[in-house]
A and B are shown apart, each in its own frame.
Chain A
Amino acid sequence: MRHIHVLTGVLAGLLGAATVGWAWVLAAGIDRVFLQGEGLDAAGGWLLAFALLGLVRAALRYGVDLAGEQLAAHGRASLRGQLLDHIARLGPAWSGGERAGELSATLTEGIEALRAYYAQFLPQLYQAAVIPLLLLVVVFPRDPYSGLLFALTAPLIPVFMVFIGEHAKQRVEAQYVELGRMSSFFLEVLGGLPTLKALGRARAQLDEVETISRAYGEANLKVLRVAFVSALALELLATLSVALVAVSIGLRLVSGSLDYVDGLFVLIVAPEYYQPLRALGASFHASMSGVEAARRIFAILETAPVRPGEGAQALPEGALALEGVSYRYPGAERPALDGVELRVGPGETLAIVGPSGAGKSTLTKLLLRLVDPDQGRLSLGGVDARELPLEPWRRRVGWVPQEPHLFHGTIGENVRLGAPHAPAAAVWEALRRADLAPLVEGLPLGLQTQVGEGGARLSGGQAQRLALARAFLIDPPILVLDEHTSSLDPDSEDRLGDTLAELARGRTVILCAHRLHTAMRADRVAVMVQGRVVEQGTHQELLAAEGVYAGLIAASGGAE
């Protein structure tokens, strides 16, 4: 990376040098023809040199642009890689939920926005730093007056850029926000047309679209008129300097205090002197969104990851237990889990019943070892999970999430999530056991059917069945099941219950249930409210205890 920065700087310097040579050959050549009366016969040499230097300039410009492109490519590739690695370290406890949308925007648009910064702004910065300086060094000894004018006006451009620019930028940005709001008003009206039509107000919106667009345009122009003054100032500075240089050179030529060739040289390089500075100003704005993106990216990279601890002991057999486990999400007010005591023996099914927000999904994250408890411990066969290696643990513990994520790809690929090389027969067997085979058989492309947009849209119940098929395929000894929340129709619900029961047979299962129905089939039931286990026992025990669970059964009209 560093050597490309150096290379960009060196190429910019060479470009400056080539420009000096090019301009000097041109000035000297014109001088020889105009003042010394030389003809074409004597001009062959310098014309050739001029053309060659022009080609060199073109090649160097290409080189600088390419180096910038290289910088941009490296910058994006390495930042995207670092971000992906870091987000992996931060884990789903940090990146899941609402943050996912913002994160994916940062990873896609944010990183792309950096291209303008690397490919345009940085090379311009090098050119602006090197070329004007180089030209000044050459111009000063030949024409100190113009050199002084150059030296005095050049800093004014960045000053203008910062001084007027900063002020104007804010106003322009405010206007862009307004413009965004305007556009969204229009699009919102388009998207809301069904509502407006139902209200009989659709056509009345036409006037409003026009009025608002027009009013916005006028208000915006008032502001832009001011903002454009900064552009005017920059342009004026550059063109007036050239004009001033031309006039002053002319006057000094008349008085004989300056040579024609020097004067002409200065006039030729004058636009080349200001050009990089103005281009820097232009690319400055383009790079702003990149800088903003970089801020967000570095904020993510600076977030300290929380990794579950891990040891090297062999995984023991035995009961899975949570012993006095508490967990609080960073920044959360109250703990998601609060002193939870649970134990599931080998081959036993434990159902956990509770409303949303009771801590069931946090429990799942703990069992999958995505996070470690703040207090207490998770153990397997009496050994603290933190002493056990992660990979074998996760192979041992399967998971059927509440709302399984369907990956972009085919149904076959989605079922094979845990066993990428499973043969088709095994996949079909898993689909059959998950009661999804009839649906997939009915699709023309079968296992090769794409999931989601442009392919099969699976309902919530079908998606959960696909997750069940994933679990059937890898056949894990311990299983964590999150029941789907939304209500399916009773028949599918019963069938899903049967499938769950079959999957649970011969396994250790922790089942987060939303339906009392499902819970009743389990060996034991634990009721969770606000991060605490309020009671646990078998269905009969809990009914006899006449506590929360018994109350639930009664409130919902008995056990059907």
Chain B
Amino acid sequence: MRALLRLLGLLRPWVWWMSLAAAIGFFTVGAGIGLMMAGGWLISAAALMPPLFSLQVYIVGVRFFGVSRAAARYAERLITHQVTFEVLTGVRVWLFRALEPQAPALLMDHASGDLLGRLVGDVEALEQIFARAVAPPMIFALVLLLVTGLFSLWDPAIGLALAGLLLLGGVVVPLLTRAITRPLGRRAVALRAELDTRLVDGLRGQAELIAFGREAEHRARTAAVSEELIGVQRAMGRVEATQAALITGLATLGAAWSLWVGIPQVQSGEWQGMSLAAVILGGLAVYEAITPLPGAVAQLDRTLGSAERVFGLADAPPPVAPGGAALGEGHALEIRGLTHRYQDGPDVLSDLSIHLAPGRRVALVGESGAGKSTLANLLLRFWEYGEGQITLGGVDLRALDPDAVRSRFAVMGQRTVLFGRTVRANLLLGRPGASQEELEDAARRAGALALIEGLPQGWDTWLSEGGGGISGGERRRLALARALLSDAPIWLLDEPLAHLDAVTAATLHQAVLDATEGRSALLITHRLIGLEPLDEVIVLHQGRVVERGSPAELLAAGGWYARMLARQRQLEAVEALG
């Protein structure tokens, strides 16, 4: 209920537009009733063979409602779409503003991996709220008032009965059937998920199923889940069919009741005889307002669930509190005794110290899951760190504004995203307002200039999410160029070569080394080949430093670094045969 109120609060800026759309929607239904009523009147009056001019008012009524209903339908669609877009924009801006402070902590390494996927569904459900959940009840309420008032002009018994039938078909029954359809719906969602998992299992694991002789069995079990899902969907279909049939039945019931009440009145002369056809035909046209209501109930359920989740996210306290101290002049980065864990988990970093004086380049290596990437997230203030101290230019990170801290880092990582915009726009994110010369210079240094100029539309080529003819290695070069443009004093490179083939990795590695020449750099990587030019290599194992020293020292020591390097060279030698 609180979620509902808050959701409606979000919609407040568009209350007039929504009212207008609902009013026109109401008029459309009303014109339908008017058309049938006027038609009934017209022919009943005509049956008494009056002079033609006396029919004029009915003829005008019929024509007016016929034309205006079509026009109103058109206007309703237009305005509803307008409002939907307004709401969509508003909800997005609100959501973005609410989630922005949370975002990295929310979206990365979260316990439930599919947070973003769920957010997509939630945003879509919120965007549909007006057209599918708010407008139909508003229209219904107006029609209900109209019907009660209009038909009570003849007899309150008819007006109230029709209103009762509308309430029964439009409110009572959908709410009652909700008790049946909700568990069915939940079951259907669960079965869909199970079916999807089984199907994907069967496809991705097909070779194994065949090799281990389990394929037919797996297929039979998948088919069984499919059957069960279809069974549940059929049960839901039966409920929908019942509702549609019920509305058909209600219409007859209302007409029969109106006749029962009306016939004696006609006979007694209380009503003009020609009213009877008008009341009956008009009464048959009122049920149009009910049709979208069962859908609205279901949509509202979905939307409220989404709203609760989104509000929950938006209300969470921000992961880091901004401090107000001024950034120091220097940019020496000093990490002392840093220990960090997520919630109740084990330490992912323990007692880590790194001294990154200006111009010094340090590699942080170790098996995946050793806590290396956590350090990048802590340095960028995506998370608050636990014990220990991190200072930048001599000032504790906690005392600084997170945005100011980030401005000191040039970041490139495996999670670094290129956006669905032009190449130019993507690079300009690194330095808004950069000149063409600056862009070209950065691209040249990242080894991406020839690539960009070779694209079909050059700098204005649109990068699509799916890749759009640009390989993984090329995307990394663009990200490198963007980081170069940001011209920050400290480079933070988080697995910049992950998931690249050996040859691409080797050339990109060189470009990274060239780009960071003479700068401070922290290189987080599991690739040990080519680290020789760096000042220090730190080997982490389960969050602890197990080896550190210059590459030459570590090689001579013959420890983890030396043995791992030998193996990676072997792998690379074999790959180089291709």
Contacts and interface: CB of A to CB of B under 8 A. Distances in A.
Interface in A92-108: 92, 95-96, 100, 103-104, 107-108
B237 interface: yes
B63 interface: yes
A84 B223 contact: yes
Contacts of A51: 252-253, 256
A124 B317 CA distance: 53
Interface stretch (B14-22, B93-101, B335-343, B347-355): B93-101
A353 B93 CA distance: 55
B437 interface: no
B567 A487 contact: yes
B116 to A, nearest CB: 5
B430 interface: yes
Nearest to A246: B39
A73 B284 CA distance: 33
Contacts of B82: 217, 221
Nearest to A192: B417
Interface in B164-194: 192
B2 interface: no
Interface string A450-461: 000100000100
Interface residues of A, number: 156
B58 interface: yes
Interface in A201-257: 201-206, 209-210, 213-214, 216-217, 220-221, 224-225, 228-229, 231-232, 235-236, 239-240, 242-247, 249-251, 253-254, 256
A36 to B, nearest CB: 10
Interface string B387-422: 000000000000000010011010100011101100
Contacts of B273: 33-35
Contacts of A76: 226, 230
Contacts of B203: 87, 95-96, 100, 103-104, 107
A226 B513 CA distance: 56
Interface stretch (A63-71, A313-321, A377-385): A63-71
Contacts of A228: 74, 77-78
Main secondary structure of the interface of B (DSSP, over half): helix
A203 B554 CA distance: 44
Contacts of A267: 36, 39-40, 43, 281
Interface string B64-75: 011101110110
A61 B248 contact: yes
B267 A65 contact: no
Contacts of B409: 198
A54 B419 contact: no
Contact of B566 (A62, A243, A251, A557): A557
A395 B213 contact: yes
Interface stretch (A155-163, A335-343, A423-431, A513-521): A513-521
Interface centre among A189, A194, A420 (most CB of B within 10 A): A194
B36 to A, nearest CB: 7
Contacts of B574: 353-355, 514-516, 552
B202 A84 contact: yes
Given A43-B263, A254-B50, A556 B573 contact: yes
Nearest to A403: B204
Given A92-B210, A240-B66, 4 more contacts: A54-B255, A184-B420, A199-B429, A493-B567
21 contacts: A65-B237, A91-B210, A104-B203, A115-B233, A183-B120, A189-B96, A191-B417, A197-B104, A200-B486, A202-B103, A235-B73, A242-B39, A267-B36, A268-B284, A370-B210, A418-B212, A453-B113, A488-B367, A517-B567, A556-B572, A557-B566
